Amino acid sequence: MIKAKWWIYQIGIPLVLLYAFPWFFNNAHTIHVAQTFLITYIVIVGLNLLVGLSNQLSLGHVGFYAIGAYASAILTMKVGLNFFASILISALIAAVFGAIVALLSLRAKGPYLAMVTIAFGELVSIIANRWVDVTGGPAGIKTSVPSLFGFELGPIQYMWFIGLLAIIFTAGATNIFRGRFGRTFTAFGNSEVASEVLGINVRKWKILAFSVSAFLAGVGGGLFAFQNQFISSTTFELNLSIMFLIAVIIGGSGTKIGPIIGTVVIIGLPQFLHNFVDYHLMIFGGILLIALILLPDGIVGALTKLSFFKKFSSKKVNTELGILHDDREATIDLPDGISGKLLELQNISMHFGGLKAIDDVEIEVLGGTVHGIIGPNGSGKSTTVNVLSGVYMPSGGNLLWKGKNITKYAPHGIAQEGITRTFQNLQLFEDMSVLQNVMVGFHRHFKTGFLKNLLYLGQVSNEERYYAQKAYDLLRIVGLEERAYEKASDLPYGEQRLVEIARGLALKPDLLILDEPAAGASPKEIEKIMDVIQRLKNAGLSIILVEHHMDIVMNICDYITVLDFGKKICEGTPETIQNDPRVIEAYLGGEEVNQLVAGTKFVG
């Protein structure tokens, strides 16, 4: 049923529209504009994956577009390949450059990322301009009339051909959107660190996102090369990159039909401004500005906010994942317990410049226990958690996991080993529903690859449904099944913490690190959180609990380490800790203060 609907909406109707178009609007100009529209649309679909889903910024897409155009022109004219084959090859070349740009900009953010992409685009456009022997420079080079299997494609056939590709790519993009790949793109776009600790290799995924996006830009460029059978370097300038970005944002970035609307705006609107020779820049700029102010989420974003569409879209999520069962008992799925030493910190130090945030700390965590780490503010708890989860690389010492040295592992490597964590400063994937947040946690258990997801084979939808059910079960365990379809960022603070716990559990961890899970929660929520942790403990999960609330720590922990000024000051069972004078001193500033507070001593 769903499948049939998908075929009708994604393939059937667009095909009919595409086929019918030239019968109704048959003149050279409209056909040409339709071609331009479809070519640009393909580029926008790719850019939307990058900007909309993974929150990266590219102001250099014209570079990939140009590479696609020139490579396919050269492959056709000089090597003599068929035009379609050369477009595919040059799109792959563009994808390789996408990977290179991603590598260059891995650590760059915000305006820095913008500059990397601008510099890349400008570099390509300068090379296209100066390398006249190959590119023809601004005087341009001629390409051939596109032909397939010996048939020359006239303007209308070429439009159909581009349209067919556009439909195929749209279907692929939609499949990516609804599957685990889209989810992962969105996840690291929302929070890189949270994605990492859930086992997502963000570097690899960023490269993938850039490559896919560059591939589509390359296809667009290749198709463009044969549209007028002529290309010149003056086409490929920064302005075009900005236009592409305008289309993504104004259509509604990260939405499925945003690219169509956005492309209509950047290709369609200027068609009506031809007559305003002296004012067209102003009118376009004005409309753009007003649209951005009135519809900050883009046109599609604004529409989905209307209640009618909202109902429609939330229902859709429900049906796509199939029916989630409430009847079966939800059980926590955990790996076999390990007794003995699970994790060892050997002489771990972490220095920031001259500051020793933690200094020569040794901790042993035993399997099946809840190990508390406490200490006053600035004692190095957070730093310890960051070192344990791989977010920081320790300055000295070793981290042993089941006897294996994991000191140099990246967070996603540590997650693959079965350690994950929650965050004191919440790191939820804000653009996703609660259920999807938890589904990201299953990342390392998913098996289907990119191609299968692109085609959304039965295997993929089975997998999706299976893990949706599992995620739903986890939400039932933490008591959030009612909230499954709400946006994660709309939940109250305490419930957001529970979502993080559920998300961590999805990894099926051997060790779960809870970083202040009760901070900022209301007393009622704290009770709920405590209850959840208690149940996890009963189920045999090994936990490291970093917490301020003494009642939680003392009630739940089997063993406690106390840090102060980056050093371990004592260790032991809750009883030992409670009575240790060093702890009291660390927390309350010494015996004297303690006496003052207790009223046994007076000032004066």
Partner 1 sequence: MKKSSAIILVAFMVLFTILAGCSPKVEETKTNTNTAASSDSGDSSSKEPFNIGLAISMSGGTALFGEGVKRGVDLAVKEFNDAGGYEGQNANLVLYDDEAKPEKSVEIVQKLISQDNIVALVGPANSGNAMAHIQFTQEAKIPEVVPVATGTQITQEFKDADKNYIFRVAPLDGVQVSAILKELIDKQGLTKLGVIHDTEGYGQGGREDIVKQMKENYNMEPTVISAFDPKELNLEPSIREMNNAGVEAVIFYGLAPQSAKLLEARFNEGLDAPIYATWATGDPTVLNLVGDLVKGDLFFVQSFTIDQNDVAKKFHEKVMDTYGEDVFPIATAQGYDSAKLILDAITKVGLDSEKIRDQIESFTDFEGVTAIKSEPFTKDNHEAFGIDEVFIATYNDDLQIVAAE
Partner 2 sequence: MELTDILKALINGLVYGSVYAIIAQGYYITFITTKTLNFGQGDFVMLGSLIGLSTFITITATGGSVWIAFIASLLLVIVILGICGWGLEQVAIRPLKSWHSIGWILSTVAVSMIVRNVAMLIWGRDVLMAPSPFGRAILDLGIMKIRYHDIFVLVSAVVIMLLLYVFLKKSLFGKALEAVAFNRDAASLMGINPRLMASIAFIIAGILAGVGGVLVGPMVHPGAFIGLFLGLKAFAVAIIGGIENPRGIFIGGLLLGVLENLFTLYSTSMKEAAAFFLILVILAVLPQGLFGKRVKEKF
Contact residues for partner 1 (CB under 8 A)?
Answer: 7, 11, 15, 19, 22-23, 26-33, 36, 129-130, 132, 137-140, 142, 154-157, 160, 164, 224, 227-232, 234-235, 271, 274-275, 277-278, 280-281, 455, 457-458
Binding at 112: pick from partner 2, partner 1, none (beta carbon under 5-8 Å per type): partner 2
Residue 96: closest CA among 126, 125, 120, 122: 120
Shortest distance in whole angstroms from residue 381 CB to partner 2: 12
Helix (H) or strand (E) holding 592: helix 591-598
- In the bound state with partner 1, the residue whose beta carbon lies nearer, of 25 and 312, is 25
Binding at 317: pick from partner 2, partner 1, none (beta carbon under 5-8 Å per type): none
Helix (H) or strand (E) holding 562: strand 559-564
Residue 106 burial (C-beta neighbours within 10 Å; 0-12, 13-18, 19+)? middle
Name the token pair of 508: 């099926």
Binding at 277: pick from partner 1, partner 2, none (beta carbon under 5-8 Å per type): partner 1
Binding at 164: pick from partner 1, partner 2, none (beta carbon under 5-8 Å per type): partner 1
Shortest distance in whole angstroms from residue 244 CB to partner 2: 11
Shortest distance in whole angstroms from residue 26 CB to partner 1: 5
- In the bound state with partner 1, the residue whose beta carbon lies nearer, of 161 and 215, is 161
- In the bound state with partner 1, the residue whose beta carbon lies nearer, of 230 and 587, is 230
Name the token pair of 212: 């896919």
Shortest distance in whole angstroms from residue 379 CB to partner 1: 56
Helix (H, G, I), strand (E, B) or coil at 429: coil
- In the bound state with partner 2, the residue whose beta carbon lies nearer, of 510 and 515, is 515
Name the token pair of 262: 């956005």
Shortest distance in whole angstroms from residue 167 CB to partner 1: 9
- In the bound state with partner 2, the residue whose beta carbon lies nearer, of 15 and 193, is 193
**Cα–Cα distance list, 65 to 29, 72, 77, 87, 558 (Å):** 23, 11, 18, 11, 60
364, 334 Cβ separation under 8 angstroms: no
324, 472 Cβ separation under 8 angstroms: yes
Shortest distance in whole angstroms from residue 409 CB to partner 2: 17
424, 518 Cβ separation under 8 angstroms: no
- Residues ≥6 apart with Cβ < 8 Å to 374: 381, 546, 547, 548, 550, 553, 560, 561, 562, 563, 577
Name the token pair of 13: 């109707």
| Cross-strand bridge partners of residue 263 | none
Helix (H, G, I), strand (E, B) or coil at 470: helix
Q: Which residues make up the interface to partner 2 (CB under 8 A)? A: 51, 57, 103-112, 114-116, 118-120, 122-123, 126-127, 130, 193, 238-239, 242, 245-246, 249-250, 278-279, 281-282, 284-286, 288-289, 292-293, 296-297, 352, 382, 386, 391-392, 423-425, 427, 430, 515
- In the bound state with partner 1, the residue whose beta carbon lies nearer, of 4 and 293, is 4
Helix (H, G, I), strand (E, B) or coil at 490: helix
Residue 245: closest CA among 117, 119, 159: 117
- In the bound state with partner 2, the residue whose beta carbon lies nearer, of 19 and 276, is 276
Binding at 508: pick from partner 1, partner 2, none (beta carbon under 5-8 Å per type): none
Binding at 467: pick from partner 2, partner 1, none (beta carbon under 5-8 Å per type): none
Shortest distance in whole angstroms from residue 299 CB to partner 1: 24
Shortest distance in whole angstroms from residue 38 CB to partner 1: 14
Binding at 457: pick from partner 1, partner 2, none (beta carbon under 5-8 Å per type): partner 1
Phi, psi of 255 (to 5 degrees): -100, 160
Shortest distance in whole angstroms from residue 107 CB to partner 2: 4
Binding at 115: pick from partner 1, partner 2, none (beta carbon under 5-8 Å per type): partner 2
* Separation of alpha carbons 507 and 417, rounded Å: 10
Helix (H, G, I), strand (E, B) or coil at 212: helix
Shortest distance in whole angstroms from residue 113 CB to partner 1: 24
Binding at 328: pick from partner 1, partner 2, none (beta carbon under 5-8 Å per type): none
Instruction: Please give the radius of gyration of the chain, using alpha carbons only, rounded to the nearest integer.
Output: 29
- In the bound state with partner 1, the residue whose beta carbon lies nearer, of 447 and 524, is 447
* Separation of alpha carbons 274 and 66, rounded Å: 26
Name the token pair of 259: 């690219």
CA angle 10, 433, 447 (to 5 degrees): 65
Shortest distance in whole angstroms from residue 122 CB to partner 1: 11
What's CA 395's distance to the chain center, in Å? 29
437, 428 Cβ separation under 8 angstroms: yes
- In the bound state with partner 2, the residue whose beta carbon lies nearer, of 86 and 422, is 422
Binding at 96: pick from partner 2, partner 1, none (beta carbon under 5-8 Å per type): none
- In the bound state with partner 1, the residue whose beta carbon lies nearer, of 131 and 312, is 131
**Cα–Cα distance list, 309 to 177, 253, 300, 302, 483 (Å):** 19, 17, 10, 10, 19
- In the bound state with partner 1, the residue whose beta carbon lies nearer, of 154 and 590, is 154
